[in-house]
Structures are given as C-alpha cells and as structure tokens.
Amino acid sequence: MIFLTGGARSGKSTLAVEMAGESGRHVRYVATALASDEEMKQRIAAHRQSRPGEWSVVEAPIALAEAVSNAEPDEYLIVDCVTLWVSNLMADHDDETITGMVDAVAAILSDRRDAVVVSNEVGSGIVPMDPVGRRFRDLHGRANQKLAAAADRSYLVVAGKTLELGTPGAG
C-alpha cells in the first residue's frame, strides 16, 4: 500500500491516477467526497473527468472500511481522500468511534498488495482558532499517522513532485 500526503492541489490525486494507470490492472476508485454544494459538485466532476471511464467507482463518504474490504484482490485500489472522509465522519461520530474506523481501514489496507491512499497534510499550518478545527486537525493527523504506518511506502507530494518519507526513527 502506498500513502500519499501533501497540501491541497499538490498533485496527490494526479499521481494516484498515474500509479493506477501504470499498473495495467483493473482499478477501483473509492471516492469519499460529498456533493454538498455547487462548488463541490464541480470539483467532483473534474475528478471524474480525470479518470478513465472503465474504472469502477465506489462512493464511500462514510462506509470506507466496507468499500475497501469489498475490492477484489486483483484490483488496483485508489482511496481518495482520507481528509474528506474524516471530515464527513465528524458530524455523527465521536473521536473514539472515528479512531476505531480509521484503525479498521488501516488494517484492511495494510493487507492490500496494490493500493494507493490519498490524504491532505493539514498539520503544517497555524493552530485552528476554534475547537471544531482543532478536533479535525487532531483526528486527521492521527489518521494520517496510522495509515502511513500501515503503508509499505509513503510520499509527500509538493507542487507535483514527490519526496519519499522514511520510517519513524530512521533519521
């Protein structure tokens, strides 16, 4: 499993699509976005246009563990994106439940041979002013840590360029 993180518009999704396309395998694209407003609908449409039409697309704004566990073993799996998924979960779930859901997804993905997971890096900026923003930043940061730990390789994507991240304590 490959974990891609970086800022918004850094090229993470583009890289994930390229990796999957180069695999030569059938691709299952698991999308977590909710079309909650017109601008988000346009973003989702742009993402759809960037993917080959023969790929399977599963929309999983909440039930991500189910969506990834239902992928066939021979499919190349893309999960895009953890950031939106964590945000979606926050409305109806407490922190302990979200942590359990992240653990379940990380466990499932750690057993995948060919998967790429996309997630924003949100902890590099200022400390959010409000409690909801801090809660999101903390939950999302822990989710990224767990998914990166479950990955075989992790990359930071900045301006379309990648930097491989090492293992904890590897200096």
Active-site amino acid positions: 47
Phi, psi of 121, rounded to the nearest 5 degrees: -100, 115
Q: Is 97 exposed, middle or buried (0-12, 13-18, 19+ CB in 10 A)?
A: exposed
Alpha-carbon Rg for the chain in angstroms: 15
**What 3-state class would DSSP assign to 58?**
strand
